[in-house]
């Protein structure tokens, strides 16, 4: 699978469609994928965890927080964290500077139009399949790490504070990711540095996708982002503080996440599912849109160094629990989603990445949706 050089069709900015009376056919999902088809639970929320003092002097407090994270990873694959160390003011600045970017005149944004070769820049689709049904969102994708891939010239020059704010935001979020990697690693019974080392130590990858979901005249017919699991290691999402939209799959229902002010939404990606030999699973999620308000979210992806082989930790492979996945680099892995677009969990459950031995013990669970994002 080679990375395609260009989009198969002319790119249309979803933002330019938001004042139409009806949405174009290209955005109309088949009935089974529309927001209302599965039951939506509004009375539950993903776990909320206070990280204050997680690695402080109080070992009882550390144990309590670790067990809360453990339970959330096992039950949900998703949780919110507060008192996480990232400055609330910086979070607000980061979101608002991106909102201002999306409100700039189209010519300013088009300078950064992206291609499917690297996805870096201003984009309006994931996947390169001709005739695909598209999602109701535009986005901006950039590399934060490794240093070799970070290029400020590929980040918007306007608003003028953007580069500085995002540089600082990235540094703080990377620190928080380091803390969470330690927690996950300890909870898996691996040494506290195991996961970070498996990701390449200092050489990890990190990228940011800023999602812009314009108002939609017919929100019941489409999705802002189709069901997918995140292909990378771990995602820290800064959601819109005013507008809900993210839904997380909980068995056969969708749970709408109610964002807590200044919390990050953390979720497990496919690479941690592989490294943990499926003790932790990446969970499907999607985004719904609405006719009243636009929505902005910042998804920060913390990923393994892209040319390292990722495979189940030897410590988690036992005679009765064979390795469920073959070794694969993240570069190889993400080509799938970059070509096919978001498709539930079909990638991590596909025979392409399953180890032949795994089939003796467990049949691959049926892909819940027909179906992964950058
Ligand atoms: C993503 C994602 C959720 C949101 O970018 O991978 O799942 O709320 N975003 O925008
Ligand atoms: Ni996602």
* Spatial distance between the Cα atoms of 135 and 152, rounded to a whole number of angstroms: 28
Phi (first) and psi of residue 248, to 5 degrees: -115, 135
- Which atom of ligand 1 approaches the CA of 295 most closely? 10
Residue positions counted in the chain: 374
Residue 248 domain-assigned?
A: yes
Residue 374 domain-assigned?
A: no
Structure tokens at 73: 């990873």
Please give the distance, rounded to the nearest whole angstrom, from the Cα atom of residue 207 to the centre of ligand 1.
13
Cβ of 299 less than 6 Å from ligand 1: yes
Per-residue pLDDT at 1? 54
Ligand 1 atom 1 nearest Cα: 299
Q: What is the pLDDT of residues 303-357, one digit of tens each?
A: 999 999 999 999 999 999 999 999 999 999 987 777 777 888 887 887 667 887 6
Residue 369 domain-assigned?
A: no
Per-residue pLDDT at 372? 39
Residue 235 domain-assigned?
A: yes
Please give the distance, rounded to the nearest whole angstrom, from the Cα atom of residue 211 to the centre of ligand 1.
7
Cβ-proximal residues to 235 (8 Å cutoff; 6+ apart), any chain: 265, 266, 267, 269, 299, 300, 301, 302
**pTM of this structure:** 0.94
- Which atom of ligand 1 approaches the CA of 211 most closely? 10
Ligand at minimal distance from the CA of 137 is 1
By most ligand atoms within 8 Å of CB, the mutation choice from 136, 138, 287 for ligand 1 is 287
> Which residues of the chain fall below pLDDT 50?
360-372
Residue 8 domain-assigned?
A: no
Ligand at minimal distance from the CA of 245 is 1
Per-residue pLDDT at 338? 79
Residue 367 domain-assigned?
A: no
Place of tokens 């109080």: 58
Please give the distance, rounded to the nearest whole angstrom, from the Cα atom of residue 306 to the centre of ligand 2.
19
Per-residue pLDDT at 36? 83
Per-residue pLDDT at 250? 94
The alpha helices in the chain, defined as continuous H runs, are 59-75, 88-102, 106-110, 162-187, 194-198, 270-275, 330-340, 358-361
Q: Nearest-CA neighbor of 43 among 253, 327, 265, 358? A: 253
Please give the distance, rounded to the nearest whole angstrom, from the Cα atom of residue 284 to the centre of ligand 2.
8
Per-residue pLDDT at 361? 42
Q: Specify whether the backbone of 51 is left (phi greater than 0), alpha (psi in -120 to 50) or beta.
A: alpha
Reduced to 3 states (helix: H, G, I; strand: E, B; else coil), residue 265 is: strand
Number of H helices, E strands in the chain: 8, 15
Host domain of residue 263 = 14-359
Task: Give the helix/strand (H/E) hosting 141.
Answer: strand 138-145
As for how many domains the chain has, the answer is 1
Give the CATH number for residue 202: 2.60.120.330
Cβ of 209 less than 6 Å from ligand 1: yes
Residue 19 domain-assigned?
A: yes
Ligand at minimal distance from the CA of 270 is 2
Per-residue pLDDT at 336? 74
Question: Which DSSP letter does residue 313 get?
Answer: -
DSSP states along 226-250: EEE--SSSEEEEE--SS---EEEEE
C-beta separation of 254 from 38 below 8 A: yes
Please give the distance, rounded to the nearest whole angstrom, from the Cα atom of residue 105 to the centre of ligand 1.
24
Q: What is the pLDDT of residues 120-171, one digit of tens each?
A: 999 999 999 999 999 999 999 999 999 999 999 999 999 999 999 999 999 9
Q: Which residues surround ligand 2, an ion (CB under 5 A)?
A: 230
Please give the distance, rounded to the nearest whole angstrom, from the Cα atom of residue 262 to the centre of ligand 1.
17
Ligand 1 atom 5 nearest Cα: 299
Per-residue pLDDT at 37? 61
Residue 365 domain-assigned?
A: no
Q: Nearest-CA neighbor of 270 among 230, 312, 236, 324? A: 230
Please give the distance, rounded to the nearest whole angstrom, from the Cα atom of residue 319 to the centre of ligand 2.
33
């Amino acid at each position: 699978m080679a990375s395609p050089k260009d989009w198969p069709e002319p790119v249309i900015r979803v933002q330019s469609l938001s004042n139409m009376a009806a949405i174009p056919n290209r955005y109309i999902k088949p009935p089974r994928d529309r927001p209302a088809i599965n039951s939506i639970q509004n009375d539950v929320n993903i776990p909320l965890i206070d990280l204050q003092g997680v690695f402080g002097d109080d070992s009882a407090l550390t144990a309590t927080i670790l067990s809360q994270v453990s339970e959330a990873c096992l039950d949900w694959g998703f949780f919110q964290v507060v008192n996480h160390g990232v400055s609330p003011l910086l979070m607000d600045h980061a979101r608002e500077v991106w909102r201002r970017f999306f409100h700039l005149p189209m010519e300013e944004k088009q300078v950064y139009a992206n291609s499917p070769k690297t996805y870096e820049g201003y984009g309006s689709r994931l996947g390169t399949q001709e005739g695909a049904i598209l999602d109701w969102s535009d986005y901006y994708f950039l590399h934060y790490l490794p240093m070799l891939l970070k290029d400020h010239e590929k980040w918007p020059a306007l608003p003028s504070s953007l580069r500085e704010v995002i540089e600082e935001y990235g540094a703080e979020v990377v620190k928080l990711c380091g803390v969470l990697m330690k927690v996950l690693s300890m909870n898996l019974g691996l040494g506290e540095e195991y996961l970070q080392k498996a990701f390449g130590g200092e050489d990890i990858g990190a990228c940011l996708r800023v999602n812009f979901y314009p108002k939609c005249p017919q929100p019941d017919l489409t999705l802002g982002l189709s069901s997918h699991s995140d292909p990378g290691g771990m995602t820290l999402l800064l959601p819109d503080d005013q507008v809900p939209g993210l839904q997380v799959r909980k068995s056969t229902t969708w749970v709408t996440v109610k964002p807590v002010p200044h919390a990050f939404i953390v979720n497990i990606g496919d690479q941690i599912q592989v490294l943990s030999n499926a003790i932790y699973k990446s969970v499907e999620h999607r985004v719904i849109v609405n006719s009243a308000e636009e929505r902005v979210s910042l998804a920060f992806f913390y990923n393994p160094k892209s040319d390292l082989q990722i495979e189940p930790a030897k410590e988690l492979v036992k005679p009765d629990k064979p390795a469920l996945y073959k070794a694969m680099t993240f570069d190889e892995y993400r080509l799938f989603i970059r070509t096919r677009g978001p498709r539930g969990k079909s990638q991590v459950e596909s025979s392409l990445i399953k180890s032949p031995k795994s089939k003796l013990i467990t049949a691959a669970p049926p892909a819940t949706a027909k179906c992964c994002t950058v």
